[in-house]
Structure 1
Amino acid sequence: MSVLALAPRAGVWAVVAVAAVGTALVTVWQPLVGLALGLAALTFALTFRWPGLGLALALLTLIIGQVGRIPLFGSEVAILPNDVLIPLVVLAWLARQLVDRRLTVRASPLRNILLIVSGVLVLSLVVAWLSGAFSNRQLLVAGSYILRWFEYLALFFLARSVVRTNTLWSWLVFFGLITLALAGLGFLQLSVVPDFSAYVPQGWDPHVGRLLATWFDPNFLAGFLGFAVVLFLSLATERVTGRWFSLGVAAVAIVALVLTFSRSGYLGFMVGFGVLAIVRARHFLSLGVLALLVTFLFVPRVQERVIGIRSLDETAQLRIESWRNALEVIADHPWLGVGYNTYRYVQVRYGFLDDVARHSAGGSDSSLLTIAVTTGVVGLMVFLALLARMLQSAWMAARLTRDPTVRALGYGFVAGLLGLIVHGQFVNGLLYPHLLEVQWVMLGLLLGCRDQEKRV
């Protein structure tokens, strides 16, 4: 390797060395700041050296969840641990790609639609700024969520670049261990902190006797667990080696899913499971129906939640009210909406809310309505096109591959995403940070393996 080829990489390590010295000096005066900077520099250096390690660190933030949440701007926005770690990981990966002269955008079936969706999100916020209806601080808060969109989207490209067909199963095992860890933390939380009412002043809902784990919300966690169950059941239908691991993860996750007592989670899982059963193993249908009947008959809380759908309990009424509020605003701002993630301020203006600090204030209880109210009909159409393209890409990868693990991931992703789409019509799940991370990483792993097969 020539000196010229080594020069860019040496330059990066020189910057890291200078940063380390600077961190040591800062630590003398501000130990906590120095520690934070040191960890950031270490994360950057490790990811630069081993990009796959950076992706693994990003996935581990799923276990941390909402723990360590830092409110900003009067609790209008919060910084999560993943909001700090993921940008570092992405920047280090981009630096490595630049140094290795591989910083190119590979042809992808999602490239054009991703550009269009991202452009519409930015355009909606520009229109909101030009309208003069929002303060600079409000626009800054809204803009931070667009940065978060790009942050999680970058994980798709990172996962796509680091995965290899012979390492895919290892990544899926790692994801399975994360699923088990979250379920385990949920069981622990249910026994130690079954009543979350004490955390209402911090903006959380007063859930009692429901599995939340570190996500602090049973509905979003239920969406994740339903996706994981479907994915690992799909893997169990294809792989002989590792089948018992997949079935074990699915079994633990489905117990945790039941204990969330989330109707949206149940419905999303049933859709995903039904699609998987039709596509891969129709005998799953009879087993699924039997399991649902047993759960309904022997878990009284499940009976209560299901019967509550027919009687429109308080939760269902609040959800319907949220939909009506969103439709009213959409009628007034049909084309480009009120601006991406400005809905919390609009809700106060319309008299729907009196506190923008509530964690659910930024969206409607429906992902598609949230997209429509913030980016208009234009945004809704391109977002639906993105979902369709994601499903089509995963389906084609599953149909065309010769590798059983890739095939199982493809069909599992299609079924799981369809479940999340249904789940997301009752909570704003499709835009929830942790669920976005799972969607983009899994799709990146799938299409990365398919890219490798095409090159062989």
Structure 2
Amino acid sequence: YNLIFNYSFSLKSLLYLLRLTIFVSFFIFPPQTYIKNKITKKFFFLTIMANIGFSYLQYFFWPDSTIFKSLHWDPHLNRLIGTFFDPTFTALIYLLFLIFLFFNSSLSNKTKTFLIIPTYLAISLSYSRSTMLTLLAVSAYTSKQLKKGHIFIFSLILILISLILLPKTTGEGTNLQRTSTILAKIRNYQQAIHLFIKQPILGHGYNFLPQAKQQSNYYQPQSHSNSAFDSSLLTILTSTGLVSFSLFLIAIIKEFKQDSLLKKNLYLAIFVHSLFANSMLYPWVIISLLFLST
């Protein structure tokens, strides 16, 4: 509706909507014959491991990416950002892989330990607080479902030790007590709620948030994030309105109830993480979920 009537027609918005539709269609009609192929699964597995390896190279040999500030991207210093060039999304993808390893019964305990340790260390070196909180949420849910409270206790102790031992280097990004990003997110959420109130039923349309932000003086010409908010849930709510957002939540809850514990934890991780970042709509998160959950 909003693609035609709310604002002037935009080919860019239409193409983004088409891309999202294609991604979603893979979950509705999964190409299981291809995805479940052992060679394909092994290739994706090796790709993630190689990505973690390159992330360590980036962290130790190229820790300063503040040069990208001139291109109006977030300047990260002394943080693991990987080949995705973003610590938050990189950490989430590694967390999804860690969950997959934990529930993978085909791997021996030694192999799991050998793979989980570098994966968790990579998550820690991203200094992503949202991912740490997501890990706690996932471990709490897993502990409850398996009736093994030590899983949550171990995760909590591990994270606390990590917070103490993580290098306190130059740059605000490595300061886990920083409040500037929290205040920025609060302002961002307030803007999203304000735009939602303007079009509560049908929303502003998928990828029409830049136009909506311009009308409300929220648009930042030099920013690369005008098409979304710092929360996928708020982005979807503001874009599609209350009707579509309600259907979206119903579909997620229905899918959540029917799936295995592995899939439930993968969904839970993305859902919780999406409270703090636009993770649910990030293409590489969607692709990772597709391979790890099928």
| TM-score using structure 1 length | 0.59
Aligned to 1:73: none
Within the alignment, does 1:234 sit opposite 2:103 as a pair?
yes
Q: What SS class does the counterpart of residue 129 from structure 1 fall into?
A: coil
CA, structure 1 residues 151+202, in 2 after alignment: closer, same or farther (shift >3 Å)?
Answer: farther
Among 165, 172, 177, the residue aligned to 1:307: 177
Give unmatched runs, 5+ long, in structure 2: none
Q: Please name the residue that 1:438 is paired with.
A: 288
Indicate which of 133, 141, 144 corresponds to 1:267.
133
Number of the residue aligned with 2:165: 298
Residue pair 1:276, 1:412 contacting (<8 A) in 2 also: no
Relative to its length, the structure with more helix (as a share) is 1
Q: Which shifted more, 243-252 or 317-326?
A: 243-252
1:372-427, CA deviations, whole angstroms, 9 ceiling, x for partnerless residues? 10001012111112221331231xxxxxxxxxxxxxxx322211221211111110
- Tell me the equivalent position of 2:57: 188
Question: Normalising by the residue count of structure 2, what TM-score does the alignment of the two structures yield?
Answer: 0.89
Q: For residue 116 of structure 2, what is the amino acid of its counterpart?
A: A
Q: Partner of 1:328 in structure 2?
A: 194
1:384 maps to 2:253: no
Deviation readout 1:29-64 (Å, 9 max, x if unpaired): xxxxxxxxxxxxxxxxxxxxxxxxxxxxxxxxxxxx
Matched, 1:217 2:82: no
Identity of aligned residues (%): 23
Cα pair 1:186 1:211 within 8 Å, conserved: yes
- Which of 149, 161, 172 is the matching residue for 1:282? 149
Structure with the greater alpha carbon radius of gyration: 1
Confirm whether residue 246 of structure 1 aligns to residue 116 of structure 2.
no
Distance 1:176 1:162 in 2: 15
How far, CA to CA, are the matches of 2:205 and 2:60 in structure 1?
42
2:20 is the counterpart of 1:160: no
Structure 1 residues 291 and 215 mapped into 2: Cα distance closer, same or farther (>3 Å)? same
The AA in structure 2 aligned to 1:425 is L
Deviation string for 1:191-232 (max 9, x for gaps)? 232122111233321111111111111111111111211221
Is this contact kept in 2: 1:228–1:416, CA < 8 A? Answer: no
Q: Is the 8 A contact 1:367 1:430 kept in 2?
A: yes
Distance in 2 (CA, whole Å) between partners of 1:249 and 1:426 is: 27
Shift of 1:339: 0.5
Which SS does the other structure have where 2:228 is aligned? coil
- Where does structure 1 lack aligned partners over 5 or more consecutive residues? 1-125, 395-409, 446-456
- The aligned residue for residue 143 of structure 1 is 14
User: After superposition, what is the alpha-carbon deviation per residue over 1:315-347, rounded to whole angstroms, capped at 9, x for unaligned?
Assistant: 111111110000000001000100011112221
Q: For residue 419 of structure 1, what is the amino acid of its counterpart? A: A
Amino acid of the residue matched to residue 160 of structure 1? Q
Partner of 2:229: 364
Shift of 1:300: 4.8
The CA distance in 2 between the partners of 1:393 and 1:323, in whole Å, is 32
More displaced stretch, 178-187 vs 426-435: 178-187
SS in 2 for 1:194: coil
Give the number of equivalent residue pairs. 289
Would the alpha carbon gap of residues 424 and 226 (structure 1) be closer, same or farther in structure 2, given more than 3 Å must change? Answer: same
In the alignment, residue 102 of structure 2 is paired with which amino acid?
L
Distance in 2 between residues matched to 1:171 and 1:243, nearest whole Å: 23
Contact 2:96 2:289 in 1 (8 A): no
CA distance in 1, matches of 2:163, 2:291: 34
Residues 290 and 127 (structure 1), Cα distance of their counterparts in 2 relative to 1, 3 Å cut: closer
**Equivalent position amino acid for 2:79 in 1:** R
**Relative to structure 1, is the Cα distance of residues 383 and 191 closer, same or farther in structure 2, using a 3 angstrom cutoff?**
same
Deviates more, 1:413-422 or 1:329-338: 413-422
CA RMSD of aligned residues (A): 2.3
> Where do 4+ consecutive residues of structure 1 move more than 6 Å?
none
